[in-house]
Structure 1
Amino acid sequence: MAVLSRAEICSVAYNALEKLKLKLWRNRFRVVNRYKLAERARGYLIAKGLESIEQENDVTD
């Protein structure tokens, strides 16, 4: 087993943390994009629901 100097250990740890941070940052954007997509879909469904209710009201009038 190789003996690593303190600087090498710090370098390896720093690089690992940077990779983890980048991964978490990407996942954050995925979650935000899913939320936006869900909001858009919800808005679309609400609009469609209102249209169908309005059409039903037009038929009964």
Structure 2
Amino acid sequence: MERKLILEEMNAILTAYCDGCLVKSSLRKEFSKTYAHQFCIQKCTVGEQLRKFGNQLELKKI
């Protein structure tokens, strides 16, 4: 996949699922910003998908 397409796909996912996420906002209020961020990266299915795209971008860099 081309770098620009990957970035566009990531942006679409962030806009559709992450903006206004109730889970993230409640975790930020209950615990902390860092805790919510780690949850998104490690446990959220959307975060896993974004991480895969990030790995593809990293490979394109080399």
TM-score by length of 1: 0.31
TM-score by length of 2: 0.31
Of structures 1 and 2, the one with the larger relative CO (CA 8 A, separation 6+) is 2
In our comparison, the structure showing a higher alpha carbon Rg is 1
Quick check: which one's helix share is greater?
1
